[in-house]
Structure 1
């Protein structure tokens, strides 16, 4: 039993990852990472979530839910920043935990993040498709149900727009991270301008009475969930936290960062700060324009509020920019996901050809597999219930990374270089990041935990049936033992 546990906790030498990832081209700057982070975090949810959460759980105090979720995300982001500065390896949490706690725990953390990337990719592709078709309908252009919906959903066979969009982004990334980052930078500027336009126009339509009572009295909704009081704010935090998790996708590309010791912390923390300011501002304006209850069951509260405030043209422009802006989330998730799949192949945890680079030193085998799976989920499968997996899996990875700061500190300046950035108020802040992530995980509904359990069961089967026997770390250990 002790040998078995020792095998599970074999730790990779960080110098091995430095060598393996040295062929990836370091082209990404702080500006690129800020764009990647903001583009992934400030996705469609900024135009929908503030209204939805206000109507379902919080009323005007939705602002507190955004701030509390941001504080927890910020605590974890500090840990991510130190990890990425100290160990700028492809695969982020998977590679870091492999070095800190051992191969098995690294696999669990990586498998958790893989759920985020696969499903988020499919979700954004599907959401972009729905919004794009919505823009075309006033022009009299309608897609037949067979190519507009996922398989078995309202006569659907394949969501053709989702297929084309995911394939197009994969083609863009296959030409190099630098080129994809340039496109990302332009689209993010457009998206931020659209958000700022809503805030400025919306401020002219504020009715102060809509802010009272700021924290409505607590009651139970018909579905048994909380509304009002601190209970409603807590329920809102669990829903909102999902919007902030995009910052972790930046870290997966740290092996392609210029001067990662400075670039990674600035990109991670800076993009989260920008996103929080935008989310809170949109939420404050939205609940001030109309009574929060008006946003109940409203799929596009920002557009609805602008139209009803007498700004239909601004609403249409913002919706169009929002559709274009969804490409930013696809680029961010696809870059991160492909680097994670590459790192699994690099270490032999999945077939080794996934860890091969092409003649331009790009992990395009991993990108191809990620794209195919994303297309299959996004185009053919009804997957609304899988949304829960994103937050559940990512929160588990967040807990690992927060705890990983403690063994990292003991090794900095020894076998791991002393990073340019360190988590402040050590050892308190990493513990708070872990506790905050655990509390939010606890607040997820039972379905989220059930689906996470199923996903991890599949991951365990793959690890014990394949990864454990094919990993380069395990083979090296067995060779040394048999000498």
Structure 2
């Protein structure tokens, strides 16, 4: 079983054949936009309703808890990404620090995370798109805008947007990143407008009782409730900065740009999230908007701002695809690096003339479309969280292990208080994972058992380190 612990050296990770290297075309502003584009999306536009339903007004605490864990993980990511400025994110770091077996599990979990996130955002986008079209007098048959779980047949709008984003990525990385910046500015403008219009209606009475379902995750009438239950899904709203680390190999100045991109995107999004959540709950009782497929637009319509509500919906329709773009970008890069390491068939890592891995991009789009077309948002988001939590635990471990094993290794960015930062990232993620529904944990286990079978049958024998 020694193949499970064989490791790549940090030096070998950053040295590779130029024909297998991605092109350096991105600057720090592209990375901040990529991070904000990935973070600000379904989590705040749609899952704020799901979180409020689980925790009531105390969803604000859920945002703070999830944000704290993610900030610690972001600091660990920033140190490791600048130390190993190549694609692969937590998979690459685990390969160099812990070993091939753990690297495979993390890479396989990241494939789950990015694929399922894309699907979750596509479903969230579909809810806003349908609402926007209905406000314009255009009705689409319910059977074509909802999966079997909601009494429909297939969610065609969700499939449509996945195909559109995949087409953007095939055009080229820099072109996609530039369009992403424009759409991110639109999203932030819409959220600023929401806060400005909702705050005048602020009623402190809407925060009472503040914690109606308690702190720990537990079942209430067959549903998981509590602050930690909300945090376990609200966590979905914060991550996305890890998608920035997957762009390390395509960054012009990794040492500077990756740190700015990862930390900068987290700071911007944490401030925006707390402001939006406080404004929404202050404007109306959480039960009045928690079940809506477009909660922010619903709040504004109730406050008699139908025009701005339509604008919010329109921006969500136009700009939520930036999240799909960021995560589909990240997923294709994870697949690409695993193929480059021969953990998956090497032909999957073939690049076209624009430096885009076509096969994995198209394959990702097909899988994401299948998930988005038939599954509900909350279950998709929870499963995505499970994969991400595993990756964040690995990154926290890598940070601590490298500080012990190679304390004098030159670091462009050094995470402050690494033992504390790493421990919070590890412990927080484990607690959040425990707070997920049992069925989600079971599905995650099944996914990794399938992955283990693939690794033992192919990756363990074919990887570059196998000789």
User: TM-score if structure 2 supplies the norm length?
Assistant: 0.92
Aligned partner of 2:191 in structure 1 is: 195
Which residue, 32, 38, 41 being the options, matches 1:40? 38
- Does residue 123 (structure 1) correspond to residue 132 (structure 2)? The answer is no
Q: Deviations over 1:278-320 (max 9, x none)?
A: 1100111111111233334333332222112121111111111
Q: Report the Cα offset of residue 321 of structure 1.
A: 0.5
Aligned partner of 1:366 in structure 2 is: 360
- Does residue 111 (structure 1) correspond to residue 108 (structure 2)? The answer is yes
Distance 1:432 1:217, change over 3 A: closer
Which residue, 175, 178, 183 being the options, matches 1:182? 178
Which range is displaced more, 463-472 or 135-144? Answer: 135-144
Instruction: Give me the CA root mean square deviation.
Output: 2.3
Q: Distance in 1 between matches of 2:156 and 2:289?
A: 30
Unaligned runs of at least 5 residues, structure 2: none
Distance 1:387 1:206, change over 3 A: closer
Q: Distance in 2 between matches of 1:160 and 1:291?
A: 32
Q: Distance in 1 between matches of 2:29 and 2:237?
A: 21
Q: Distance in 2 between matches of 1:47 and 1:122?
A: 15
Aligned partner of 2:425 in structure 1 is: 433
- Does residue 456 (structure 1) correspond to residue 454 (structure 2)? The answer is no
Q: Report the Cα offset of residue 433 of structure 1.
A: 1.4
Q: Report the Cα offset of residue 380 of structure 1.
A: 5.4
Q: Distance in 1 between matches of 2:82 and 2:283?
A: 43
Aligned partner of 2:156 in structure 1 is: 160
Distance 1:382 1:208, change over 3 A: closer
Distance 1:383 1:185, change over 3 A: closer
Aligned partner of 2:78 in structure 1 is: 81
Which range is displaced more, 175-184 or 133-142? Answer: 133-142
Distance 1:58 1:151, change over 3 A: closer
Which range is displaced more, 187-196 or 305-314? Answer: 305-314
Q: Report the Cα offset of residue 236 of structure 1.
A: 2.3
Q: Distance in 2 between matches of 1:364 and 1:168?
A: 15
Q: For the Cα contact (< 8 Å) 2:39–2:240, is it kept in 1?
A: yes
Q: Distance in 1 between matches of 2:83 and 2:324?
A: 27
Q: Report the Cα offset of residue 128 of structure 1.
A: 2.0
Greater gyration radius: 1
Unaligned runs of at least 5 residues, structure 1: 477-483
Q: Distance in 1 between matches of 2:227 and 2:351?
A: 47
Q: Report the Cα offset of residue 20 of structure 1.
A: 2.9
Q: For the Cα contact (< 8 Å) 1:25–1:256, is it kept in 2?
A: yes
Q: Deviations over 1:195-241 (max 9, x none)?
A: 000001111211233234444584977426676xxxx3333222211
Distance 1:431 1:24, change over 3 A: same
Q: Report the Cα offset of residue 122 of structure 1.
A: 1.9
Q: Deviations over 1:63-113 (max 9, x none)?
A: 222111111111111111111010011111111101111111100011111
Q: Distance in 2 between matches of 1:162 and 1:50?
A: 20
Aligned partner of 1:285 in structure 2 is: 279
Which range is displaced more, 207-216 or 344-353? Answer: 207-216
Distance 1:331 1:226, change over 3 A: closer
Q: Report the Cα offset of residue 356 of structure 1.
A: 1.9
Which residue, 54, 57, 78 being the options, matches 2:55? 57
Q: For the Cα contact (< 8 Å) 1:21–1:255, is it kept in 2?
A: no
Q: Distance in 1 between matches of 2:158 and 2:204?
A: 41
- Does residue 209 (structure 1) correspond to residue 201 (structure 2)? The answer is no
Q: Report the Cα offset of residue 21 of structure 1.
A: 7.2
Which range is displaced more, 309-318 or 355-364? Answer: 355-364
Distance 1:218 1:345, change over 3 A: closer
Q: Distance in 2 between matches of 1:64 and 1:189?
A: 27
Q: Report the Cα offset of residue 376 of structure 1.
A: 2.7
Aligned partner of 1:243 in structure 2 is: 237
Q: Report the Cα offset of residue 381 of structure 1.
A: 6.0
Which range is displaced more, 239-248 or 332-341? Answer: 239-248
Distance 1:434 1:293, change over 3 A: same
User: TM-score if structure 1 supplies the norm length?
Assistant: 0.89
- Does residue 311 (structure 1) correspond to residue 305 (structure 2)? The answer is yes
* Paired positions, count: 463
Q: Deviations over 1:136-190 (max 9, x none)?
A: 223343334564444797452x543333322221121122211111010000000
Q: For the Cα contact (< 8 Å) 2:206–2:281, is it kept in 1?
A: yes
Name the SS of the counterpart of 1:344 in structure 2. Answer: helix
Q: Distance in 2 between matches of 1:283 and 1:152?
A: 28
Q: Distance in 1 between matches of 2:150 and 2:46?
A: 23
Q: Distance in 1 between matches of 2:337 and 2:61?
A: 38
Q: Distance in 2 between matches of 1:457 and 1:132?
A: 37
Distance 1:395 1:334, change over 3 A: same
Name the SS of the counterpart of 2:343 in structure 1. Answer: coil
- Does residue 14 (structure 1) correspond to residue 10 (structure 2)? The answer is yes
Distance 1:10 1:226, change over 3 A: closer
